[in-house]
Structures are given as structure tokens and as C-alpha cells.
Structure 1
Amino acid sequence: MLPHLRLQNFRCFGALELDAPQEGVILIGDNARGKTSILEAICVLVRLQSPRCSGFHTLTKLSTPGFGIAGDPWGQERKIKNTPSGLHLFADGEPRASRTAYLADGGLIVWMGNEDLTLIRGPGESRRHFLDFLGAQLDPAYRTAYTRYRRALRAKNLLLKEPRLRLPELIAYEDILIEHGTFLTESRARLIADLSPLAAAAQTDISGKDEALTLTYLPASGPCMKESILQARQRETAARQAVVGPHRDDVSIRLLGMTASDYASEGQQRTIALALKLAQGDLLHTRREKTPIYLLDDIFGELDPARRNALLHHLPPHAQKFITTTYLGWRDTSPQTNILPVLRVLENFVERIE
């Protein structure tokens, strides 16, 4: 998994080194000490993606020119250097020319945090991001299609904002949108079909109740994206932006047949969010035949002992788990975490206290 992690000028850390055994660690510390930043660094090292921001410029420690992250996930030495000259990627000492090349043989990540409630309560963007993060880990072609679709979408929206419509150029970009958007739509439909039974099973395990959880994919482009774009031409011209396509997709989440965002209780919504992330991990393990690293950011304090222990039981026993927390009182009712060493996060270093 990830035995060693090194940071330089990342977030609040000038320099940090951390060793983690196969089973993982518990990171304890006061708020704003950098516990979440350590988990974020692991996610960036493995997937080149932060769950907290869209770009890398905010990850650099203030008043420093750039940041570095290094580690050996799955036995392969990996290094990221973000400098004023750009992003530099290395695997086993060899430079990787692009993000796609870096991720081609990369590892897998499941992130769980309290912000996962936006999967239930938040806008469609949260649920699309959930699918995209999963899809890119399952199939490199998904990330390629997503990147090319977003580029063509930005170009189309710029054209739609011009005072005079340049139809030939618009159609050229729409051809790109149709090609890659169709791929994304079909891939997302398969993802939801595969996730649904896994999420339903995880929901039952965590809640301890027979509460039927159903997921339904809601494509914004209908059965044929080309036809949908043609039908929306006048509407898009008036709105001056693209209104159909995967960038408007959503997922319906229902519990006992009712919309979870409207009718599920706080506890039920938290359980559904956990079930979705557990299903994500189960699907990654099944399809990629590799166990993800689980990054659990301060979620145990919000769960009652029954749900917390059910979550721990559902996690793969051989998976490496990095858990952040501000206190350890919850461990009294979750003895299965006693095998995990406890590291206190301090300024620029961590110390083992258990």
C-alpha cells in the first residue's frame, strides 16, 4: 500500500515524514494541525486529485515557490513536484510526460469525509464528481473522454456568448462533445448499474435495517446526444450556454422509494453517503483486482457505535486505512481499531503515542 510518505511545503507543512504499517494508522490532533492535509497529500500522490480543491496552486505552503510529495504506494516510488515551471511527475525515478501517463499504472483511493453528505443533499455536481472520480480509476479512457469533453464544452460556451453565432465552428465542437459525451453517458450508466446492488447491500449492513436504497442514472442528453443538441439549439442560443450533455447529468437516490434528500433523516443520509463510498471501494476492488487505500477524514465522531462498527466490519480487512480524529473516545466501543498505531500530528512532524 503506502509504507512511507514525505511532504515538502505542502499546505501547512514545511517538511513531514510519515511511516504507516500495512493496516494503516490513526492520526490525532487538534483542529487546523494538518491531519486532513496528510490524507489530501496521499490522494494527490496516488490520483493527482485533491478532494478539497480543483487546482494545485492552493496546495503550496504560503511564501514558498512550490510543493513536493513523495512515497512508495504499492511498492513503486512516486514523486510529484509542483514548481513555477509546472508540474513534474516521476515513477521509479523516471519522468512521466503527462498526467495520463502517471496515472496509467497508478493506485486506487476511496475518500470518506463529512462533506460526503453533499452526495445526498447537494447539487448534481457532487454526484457527477463521485462518478467521475470512480470512472477515471476504473478506466483511463474515461479520464481522457472527460478531459476532451470539458475542453470542447468550454469552447462551445465561448462561441455561444459571441454576438454573432458561428455555426460551422459550433458544429465542429459539438461533434467532439457528441463523441466523448456519448462515451461518458454510457460509462456512467454502467457505473450506476454496477454500484446499485453494492450500495444497497452496504446500506443494509450499516443501518442494520431492511431499507431499500435505489440509484437511478438521469442523463441530461436523453437517449441520443446528437438529437438532444439539435433540439436544444434555439434554447442554447438564447441561454448563451450549453444546456444538454453529461455536464448536466444527475443521479436519483431514493430510500424506501422516497427521495433521500427530502425524506431521509440525518442519520439515514449519513448512512447512504457511507454506503455509496463503500460501494465505490467494492467496485474498484472487483474490477481492478486491487484493494484501494481508504482515507477516512474525521467521520467516526459523527457515527453511533453500531454504525461505526458496521462500517469498520464492511471495510476490507487487508485494506490500509488512514483515519483522522480529534479524540479517541470512540475507540472504546470500536475495539477493532486497537490494532492501528496512533500518531499525534504536530507542527512539521508526527509522533507515535500508541
Structure 2
Amino acid sequence: MIRTLRAVDFRCFSGLGLEIPEGGAVFTGDNAQGKTSILEAVCVLVRLHSPRTRKVPAMCRMGGAGGFGIAGEAWGQERRVRWQRAFELAVDGEPREGAGSYLSDGGLIVWMGNEDLELVRGAAETRRHYLDFIGSQVEPGYRTALARYRRALKAKNLLLKDLRPREEELRSYEEVMISEGTLLVEARTRLVELISPRAADSQREVSGKEELLGLEYRPAGGHDLRLALEQARDRERRQRQSFVGPHRDDLLLSINGLPAGEFASEGQQRTLALALKLAQGEALAAVRGSLPVYLIDDVFGELDPGRRNAVLRVLPGAAQKWITTTHLGWLNESAGLEGMARFAVKAGSVANAID
């Protein structure tokens, strides 16, 4: 559980200090007041990751010192993240060198938001990102393999832009792509096998119908990346870009045998997105043996009572939940939110909410 959260110069907060009970907290307020930034700060503290941006400077407060700090007691440890041109990381006052060391004994996170609809409707990159976020939490070496693969891919693409690509260098980077990419493909295959039955169960539970959810992992280079690169070599040299590899993988989603992005109703798509995130939480708990913290950004206020109560039934009762909402009416109608603190957020300040 996360007991405390402190932040300085993060997003709209010049300073933030919270104590959170075991059950979690509900943050209410209008849009653009800072609710989502609180959840984002938790994600950065725990996983060094923002679900909102890949540009770390974007998280610095405008008018601040050009950096930010986040700290808190999480899973019995005092964790601290500072950023000013580079990350400075510490656990229980001891510096940690590198993200891998910092994350090795950190906790687990599931982020749920309305943008999750892009998992169903959006490009393949969104679904790859979903798998990568799970993989980095449960698969040893996943984060490192992904970083190495991306560096080799970037270098290869730069070489392909040359009028006379240096073949020996290209092949050396392809060797890195093959070794690291094969690890990613194998890990993603295991992840989809782990997630699929859990997502199917959640789809039926939340929808209240016997809807058949299908997940199919489609590696762009197949399961033999070396062969795929050899077969694509002439085409890649002619068109000067990389066509095969984990950077082009996809996770195909279907409802009752039909592509969900094309044929599922909006309600089915919304339920599918929720099912994927609920399955993520179950998979993390199954592999790591501990419950994740659920960061739920303005989801429940958009659901009808049936789906909302079904999601609350599926969420582990013992898991800590951080929930944001602009609508208050549904709170008192919903079971499973007992023991949670309530805070009002306005213009970058947080106060205890009055019912």
C-alpha cells in the first residue's frame, strides 16, 4: 500500500502532502484542477512512468525551478524520485543507480482511465504499450530488453536513411534486434496467454452477457525474427525503413469472433477496455504474489450502475484504490468504497472533502 505521497513542483502542484488509508482515496473536483496529476505522481513514484506523457519536462510545474520531486511511503519503504535533467532515485535514504535497481523491489500499478478506449479503437502502438507496461512489472529483463531493442532499431533506421547504408553496421544492429526482440516476442506470448482467460472472465462479468472475448498476439516478424529480417532485407534497404520486429507487433481483439474495433458497440468496447485492465491486475497479482494499487481516473462516473457495480465486484476488495471523479452522485450508490478517504481538489490544492 501507499501510505503517504509528497510532491514539489509537479504539474500544477507547488507542494502536495497526503496521507492515505489502506483502502485508498477518492479525489473529487472539476476538470483541470489537478486530480489526474495526483495519480500520475503515484505512477512516477512507483514505476518511473507517466501514462500521460513520455516527455519528463512536461511534468514540471510552470514557473517552478525546472525540476520536480516526488516521495512517499510505499510498501513499507520510503521512496524518492527527483528529476532535473536526469533522475535521482533513492529508497530508504540509499541512492539507487538506474531505473532497474529502483524498480527491482518496487510495487505494482494498474492505471485505468477513459483513454483506455484507445486499446480497442486506436493504433497497434497503444496495445503494445499495454503489454510493455505489464511486461516491465512481471517479466525479468523485459524493460532492459525493450530499451536495447529500441536503441538498436533507432540506430538501424538512421543508417537506412543514408544514400549508401553501411551493411556491416546494419547487420550488427540487426543482431541486437534479433536477440532482444526474440526475448520480447517470447515474453509477450506468455503475457497474452496469462491475460486472455482473465480478460474473458472480466468481459462476461462486467457486461453481464455471454460475450466471447478473443485476444490474439500477432508478432510482426513471426516467431523467427532472424528469418523475418532476412526476408525483408531487400525491401527495407529499398524503402529505407524497418518493417519487421516487435515495434510493429499487435494484439488483435475480438468480440464473438468479430474485430472489436470495427464491429463492437461503444458499450462493448468500453467493457473490453475495462476487462483488459482488470485482467492486468489479476495477472500482476498471480505472478508477483501481491496486489497492485489501482489508479482509476474518472472512470466510474461514466459507467451505468450495472457496469460500475460489476467492476467494483471484480476489483480485489483488499487492493488500495485511488479514484478521481467529477461526479459525486454515484459514490453513495456504490458498494466496495468503504474505508476510503475523500479529498476535494481545486486549482492545485487538496483538502479533506465534506460529504
TM-score range, shorter chain: over 0.9
Moved over 6 A (4+): none
User: Could you say which residue in structure 2 is the equivalent of 1:73?
Assistant: 74
User: Could you say which residue in structure 2 is the equivalent of 1:120?
Assistant: 120
What is the TM-score of this pair, normalised by structure 2? Answer: 0.98
Q: What is the CA distance between 1:338 and its match in structure 2?
A: 4.4
Q: Helix, strand or coil: the match of 2:75?
A: helix
User: Could you say which residue in structure 1 is the equivalent of 2:202?
Assistant: 202
Deviates more, 1:139-148 or 1:177-186: 139-148
Q: How big is each residue's C-alpha offset from its partner over 1:48-69, in whole Å with a ceiling of 9 and x where there is no partner? A: 0000001211100012221000
What is the TM-score of this pair, normalised by structure 1? Answer: 0.98
Q: How big is each residue's C-alpha offset from its partner over 1:277-330, in whole Å with a ceiling of 9 and x where there is no partner? A: 000000000100011000000001211101000001101111000000012111
**Paired residues of 1:45 and 1:69 also in contact (CA < 8 A):** yes
User: Could you say which residue in structure 1 is the equivalent of 2:337?
Assistant: 337
Q: Helix, strand or coil: the match of 1:221?
A: coil
Compute the RMSD of aligned alpha carbons. Answer: 1.0
Q: What is the CA distance between 1:348 and its match in structure 2?
A: 4.2
Q: Distance in 1 between matches of 2:109 and 2:294?
A: 6
Q: Helix, strand or coil: the match of 2:141?
A: helix
1:36 aligns with 2:5: no
1:152 aligns with 2:152: yes
Q: Distance in 2 between matches of 1:230 and 1:43?
A: 40
Amino acid across the alignment from 1:223: H
Q: How big is each residue's C-alpha offset from its partner over 1:179-202, in whole Å with a ceiling of 9 and x where there is no partner? A: 000000011011111111000001
User: Could you say which residue in structure 2 is the equivalent of 1:270?
Assistant: 270
Q: Distance in 2 between matches of 1:154 and 1:10?
A: 30
Identity level (%): 54
Q: What is the CA distance between 1:345 and its match in structure 2?
A: 1.0
Q: Distance in 1 between matches of 2:108 and 2:144?
A: 17
Runs of 5+ unmatched residues, structure 2 = none
**Paired residues of 1:108 and 1:293 also in contact (CA < 8 A):** yes
Q: Distance in 2 between matches of 1:104 and 1:324?
A: 28
Alignment of 1:77-156 (within 5 A): 77-84=78-85, 86-156=86-156
**Paired residues of 2:301 and 2:330 also in contact (CA < 8 A):** yes
Alignment of 1:316-335 (within 5 A): 316-335=316-335
User: Could you say which residue in structure 2 is the equivalent of 1:285?
Assistant: 285
Deviates more, 1:114-123 or 1:57-66: 57-66
Aligned positions, number: 353
Q: How big is each residue's C-alpha offset from its partner over 1:62-88, in whole Å with a ceiling of 9 and x where there is no partner? A: 12221000001101000011114x210
Q: Distance in 2 between matches of 1:145 and 1:239?
A: 27
Q: Distance in 2 between matches of 1:205 and 1:177?
A: 40
User: Could you say which residue in structure 1 is the equivalent of 2:254?
Assistant: 254
Q: Distance in 1 between matches of 2:20 and 2:311?
A: 21
User: Could you say which residue in structure 2 is the equivalent of 1:189?
Assistant: 189
**Paired residues of 1:344 and 1:350 also in contact (CA < 8 A):** yes
Q: Helix, strand or coil: the match of 2:171?
A: helix
